[in-house]
Structures are given as structure tokens and as C-alpha cells.
Amino acid sequence: MDRNNYNTKQRDEIVEFFSKHRGKCFSAKDIIKSGEIKSGEATVYRTLSKLAENGVLKRFTDGASACYQLADSEECDKHFHLKCEKCGKLIHIDCGFMAEIKNHIESNHNFYVNLGKTVFYGLCKDCSK
């Protein structure tokens, strides 16, 4: 059996956590602080990494930190994202103006944007106060 795809109790526990919180993004620290996971800190980090490698989770990173979301839908590949550099919150944005920006980049600059991986970094409303 391929150890990389082996279903462990810890893996199942983390997938269940994300299934309960569909559409939301969490860092390893968020998951540990939630108290919903019994696994140790190192196991959580290692399991998140493996789940992202295997395509079960989507990973969003700013180089210093990462947050994860269940990759059970292709909807996330159809919009831009905003990530707060202070609290780590990930905001999904799907509006007409952003579609105009995407179209402009593609038609005027001959560059095709990978929406699922496009993240704008800054501060959310709560952290900018």
C-alpha cells in the first residue's frame, strides 16, 4: 500500500474538520487552537502538508504562513482571493470588477491568470482599525 495515500486516523480527523467547515480557510495553529483535533502539533503540520500535496486541501501561502481549505469544489478556481497579513483570514472575491481585471490582463497583456492561485495581500477591515 502506498504510504502517501494511507488513510490514518489523524488524516481522517483533519479531513472531517475541514468538511465541517466547508469554504473556510484555517492555518495549522487555528486547527490546533480549535480543540476539535486530538492530534499533536507536528502531526497536524505534517498531515496538512500531505493533504495539500495530494490535492485534498488547497494551500494558500504568503511565504511565512499558510492556510488551508478543503479542495472539494472547483469554485475556488473561478475567483480571486484576499489574504489578511495580520490575522490570516482568506476572503473569496467574485465580482464583476475583478472579472474585468482578469479580462484586461488576458486581452491586453497576453497573460492568463490562474485564479485559484491568485491572492492579494493586505489587511482586512478588522485588522486595519
> For 9-24, what is each residue's pLDDT tens digit?
889 999 999 999 887 8
DSSP H or E segment with residue 60 = strand 57-61
- Do 63 and 110 sit in the same domain of this protein? no
> What is the domain-level CATH number for residue 18?
1.10.10.10
pLDDT at 36 over 90: yes
- Do 78 and 40 sit in the same domain of this protein? no
**Structural domain count, the chain:** 2
Q: Is residue 27 part of a domain?
A: yes
Q: How many CA atoms lie within 13 A of 1 on its CB side?
A: 5
pLDDT at 2 over 50: no
- Do 51 and 96 sit in the same domain of this protein? no
Give the model confidence (pLDDT) of 58-111 as tens digits. Answer: 888 766 778 898 886 666 677 888 888 887 777 888 888 988 999 999 999 999
Q: Is residue 129 part of a domain?
A: no
CA distance 126 to 113: 29
- Do 23 and 63 sit in the same domain of this protein? yes
pLDDT at 1: 37
> What is the domain-level CATH number for residue 94?
3.30.1490.190
- Do 46 and 92 sit in the same domain of this protein? no
Domain that holds residue 22: 3-70
Q: Is residue 37 part of a domain?
A: yes
Q: Is residue 32 part of a domain?
A: yes
Give every CB contact of residue 56 below 8 A, 6+ residues apart in sequence. Answer: 15, 70, 71
CA distance 84 to 28: 16
Enumerate the H helices of 21-119 as residue ranges: 28-34, 41-53, 96-109
